[in-house]
């Protein structure tokens, strides 16, 4: 672990004053305005949105392009990008057995390489910010920082009997938080993995660490029916009810999955201020059964955001696809095409996600004063023709535009420019990732 994260190099591509000109700007502001015009970035922040003729150090012609806020992936295990295709088409128990066996062999080096691979895929598909849950978050922080994405990184905390971590997970998490507190792109988070590997004592200790460190907890919750029923058999209560009773659930937390909930549990999450990170692809692929009750969450006031989950259960980190599947899954299961419209799906991956992270004043929309996390999508692409101001949001959600992503900017710096990754040597990372994956699977 480094002495100070600030000594690490920041990725390149800084533009002091950058003008993004003449694009179809999807602001995601309060009024969800879409207009043709410009976005000005100064020292990492958006300073103007509209039409202006300021001189800039650098300009980006966005004619024929959509300019939008970067997508926010609120539940992933990014370093598992190396583990694509290792456990497909298996029942959950066999899936877990297979992935845990590979996981146990992992080294910090291949975790960092997997992270860079995953971050490059994210940058190429319009994601600028991720919320991660894993161990060895120090290695992940290096990878995220080098590629230049914004990372909320949750160190996995669980009972010692279940972990492959060296040392006490809670102590490891605390050390990680201390070492990475002042890094511009990294925010440490406490991540009690799930009720099936965390005793009440572990959960409450994680809660205490998060409170005293000024961060939140991120955890898996009520993903499968088996998990919920097994928990109820042991504890006599469903997970959300129990976690509420012991005082664990807290404002600002983000719980991944939240598939198997009663309406009372939905109300309990709303009352406690816990957001749900919905992972439709992972839930469908692993046949978790059931569908997360999003309409009830909206109705009761639970914050909802979206996540891809890891690459062993999703095989992709593409948030455009996640928006599409989220919308389709609700429509299909509720027999109602008007449920979860395109605009709401985009909200879940941008401004609603920022709110779930407690960062709505910094992220999630293109407005003056916010961080310059911006994506440019080239509409001169078969998937995006025709794009007008009227159908631009629908195209982003339903027309799978990730291959049309041209530029990705995080904190005012280019990660992807004119379809080239500029922060790291992409070819070298791809080779290193293929080698590391081969070794891991051997």
CB 159 within 8 A of CB 124: no
| For Zn ion, the closer CB: 172 or 224 | 224
Q: Compute φ and ψ for 399, nearest 5 degrees.
A: -105, 15
Is the Cβ–Cβ distance between 78 and 132 less than 8 Å?
yes
Q: Are 355 and 303 in contact (CB under 8 A)?
A: yes
Stretch in the footprint of Zn ion (CB under 5 A) among 90-98, 121-129, 134-142, 301-309: 301-309
Residue 42 Cβ vs Zn ion, minimum distance, rounded to whole Å: 37
Q: Which is nearer to Zn ion, 110 or 309 (CB)?
A: 309
Give CA–CA dist 125/130, Å, rounded: 13
Element holding 408 (H helix, E strand): strand 405-410
Residue number with CB closer to Zn ion (313 or 365): 313
Give residues 303-322 in contact with Zn ion (rule: CB under 5 A): 309
Residue 326 C-beta: closest distance to Zn ion, Å = 16
**How many residues of this chain bind Zn ion (CB under 5 A)?**
1
Q: Which is nearer to Zn ion, 174 or 309 (CB)?
A: 309
Any residues with CB less than 8 A from the CB of 273 and at least 6 apart, and which?
A: 250, 251, 252, 253, 303
Judge contact between 154 and 133, C-beta under 8 A: yes
Rank residues 128 and 312 by Cβ distance to Zn ion and give the closer one: 312
* CA atoms of 277 and 6, how far apart (whole Å): 30
Which residue's CB is nearer to Zn ion, number 227 or number 309? Answer: 309
Number of Cβ within a 10 Å radius of residue 204: 15
In the complex, minimum distance from the CB of residue 94 to Zn ion, in angstroms, rounded to a whole number = 17
The stretch near Zn ion (CB under 5 A) out of 63-71, 239-247, 286-294, 302-310 is: 302-310
Token couple for 2: 């480094």
**Cβ-defined contacts of 329-332 (< 8 Å, 24+):** 329/280, 329/283, 329/284, 329/291, 330/291, 330/294, 330/295
Nearest approach in angstroms of CB 63 to Zn ion is: 40
| 427 token code pair | 């070819």
Closest to Zn ion by CB, 21 or 193 = 193
Q: How far is the CB of 118 from Zn ion (least distance, A)?
A: 13
Q: Nearest approach, Cβ of 77 to Zn ion (angstroms)?
A: 6
What's the closest the beta carbon of residue 76 comes to Zn ion, in angstroms? 7
Count of C-beta atoms within a 10 Å radius of residue 148? 27
Q: Closest CB to Zn ion among 309 and 407?
A: 309
**CA distance readout (Å), 243 to 203, 269, 272, 322:** 9, 10, 11, 28
Least separation in angstroms between residue 193's CB and Zn ion is 9
Q: Taking the complex as a whole, how short is the minimal distance between the CB of residue 310 and Zn ion, in angstroms?
A: 6
Give residue number: closest CB to Zn ion: 309
Angle between helices 342-349 and 319-334 (to 10 degrees): 130
Least distance in Å: CB of 133 to Zn ion?
Answer: 6
DSSP secondary structure of 102-159: HHTT--HHHHHHHHHHHHHHHHHTTEEEEEEEES-HHHHHHHHHHHT-EEEEEEEE--
State which residue, 309 or 322, has the beta carbon closest to Zn ion: 309
- Closer residue to Zn ion in complex, CB, 253/309: 309
Tokens 């939008």, located at residue: 68
Are 415 and 129 within 8 A, CB to CB? no
Q: Which residues of the shown chain bind Zn ion in the complex (CB under 5 A)? A: 309
């Amino acid at each position: 672990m480094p002495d100070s994260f600030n000594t690490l190099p920041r990725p390149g591509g800084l533009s002091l004053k950058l003008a993004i000109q003449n694009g179809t700007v999807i602001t995601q502001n309060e009024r969800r305005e879409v207009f043709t015009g410009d976005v000005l970035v100064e020292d990492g922040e958006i300073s103007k949105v509209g039409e202006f003729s300021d001189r800039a150090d650098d300009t980006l012609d966005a004619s024929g392009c959509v300019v939008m806020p970067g997508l926010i992936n609120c539940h992933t295990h990014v370093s598992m990008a190396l583990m694509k295709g290792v456990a497909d088409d298996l029942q959950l128990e066999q899936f877990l057995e297979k992935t845990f066996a590979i996981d146990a062999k992992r080294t910090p080096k291949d975790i960092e390489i997997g992270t860079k691979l995953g971050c490059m895929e994210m940058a190429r598909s319009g994601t600028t910010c991720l919320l991660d849950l894993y161990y060895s978050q120090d290695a992940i922080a290096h990878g995220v920082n080098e590629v230049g994405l914004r990372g909320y990184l949750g160190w996995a905390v669980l009972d010692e009997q279940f972990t492959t971590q060296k040392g006490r997970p809670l102590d490891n998490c605390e050390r990680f938080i201390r070492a990475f507190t002042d890094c511009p792109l990294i925010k440490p988070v406490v991540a009690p993995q799930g009720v099936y590997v965390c005793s009440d004592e572990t959960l409450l200790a994680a809660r205490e660490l998060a409170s005293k460190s000024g961060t939140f907890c991120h955890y898996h919750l009520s993903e499968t029916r088996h998990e919920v029923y097994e928990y109820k058999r042991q504890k006599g209560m469903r997970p959300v009810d129990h976690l509420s009773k012991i005082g664990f659930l807290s404002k600002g937390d983000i719980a991944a999955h939240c598939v198997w909930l009663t309406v009372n549990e939905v109300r309990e999450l709303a009352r406690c201020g816990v957001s749900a990170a919905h992972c439709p692809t992972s839930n469908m692929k692993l046949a978790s059964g059931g569908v997360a009750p999003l309409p009830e969450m909206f109705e009761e006031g639970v914050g909802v955001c979206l996540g891809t989950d890891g690459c062993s259960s999703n095989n992709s980190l593409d948030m455009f696809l996640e928006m599409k599947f989220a919308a389709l899954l609700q429509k299909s299961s509720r027999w109602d095409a008007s449920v979860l419209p395109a605009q709401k799906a985009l909200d879940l991956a941008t401004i609603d996600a920022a709110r779930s992270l407690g960062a709505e004043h910094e992220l999630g929309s293109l407005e003056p004063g916010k961080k310059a996390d911006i994506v440019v999508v080239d509409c001169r692409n078969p998937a995006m023709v025709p794009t007008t101001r009227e159908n631009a949001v629908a195209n982003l959600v339903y027309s799978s535009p990730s291959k049309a992503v041209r530029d990705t900017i995080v904190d005012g710096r280019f990660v992807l420019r004119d379809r080239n990754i500029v922060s790291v040597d992409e070819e070298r990372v791809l080779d290193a990732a293929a080698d590391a994956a081969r070794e891991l699977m051997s």
